[in-house]
Amino acid sequence: MLRRTHQYTDSIDLLRSKGLKRMADVYTRDGERIGGTLRFIHRPVEDVNPDLRLYRSYLIVQSILLGGPAYIPTVYVADYNPATNRVDLSANFDTLEDETWNREPDFAARGLGVYEELPE
């Protein structure tokens, strides 16, 4: 079961304002490095429903640890430090596995997502 320890807020504005870069290191709340950032993908607005875990935006992370791309809802990004090029998540590693964020969301698999590339 997912346990949220933060208020529902989308962190994409934070990431954009701090200039998130491609291949920034991504760490879970319990200190596990899961990989490097690739890009964002956005769900069609009419399909967004946070109560059903259908989030608006996801950060795609290339992760050997999770066996390929992971799709982390941006609401679970706690912070980004441009000086160290490090993203910290508010979710621990067990949550990533429990929520199966290592699977491509249905909207993306159906070609309905809008990709947003990160700068180098």
pTM (predicted TM-score): 0.88
pLDDT score recorded for residue 61 = 97
Secondary structure of residue 63 in the 3-state scheme: strand
CATH of 22-117, one of 3.40.50, 1.10.1200, 1.25.40, 2.30.30: 2.30.30
- Rounded Cα distance between 117 and 120, Å, is 9
pLDDT at 4 over 60: no
Residues in the chain, total: 120
Residue 93 DSSP label: H
The full set of domain ranges for the chain reads: 22-117
Among 90, 85, 98, 94, which Cα is nearest to 73's?
A: 90
Mean pLDDT, to the nearest integer, of 7-22? Answer: 80
φ, ψ for residue 12, nearest 5 deg: -65, -35
pLDDT confidence of 10, banded at 50, 70, 90?
Answer: low
Read off the pLDDT of residues 81-111 as tens digits, 9 standing for 90 and up: 999 999 999 999 999 889 889 999 999 999 9
24, 42, 47, 97, 99 from 106: Cα distances, Å: 25, 12, 11, 17, 14
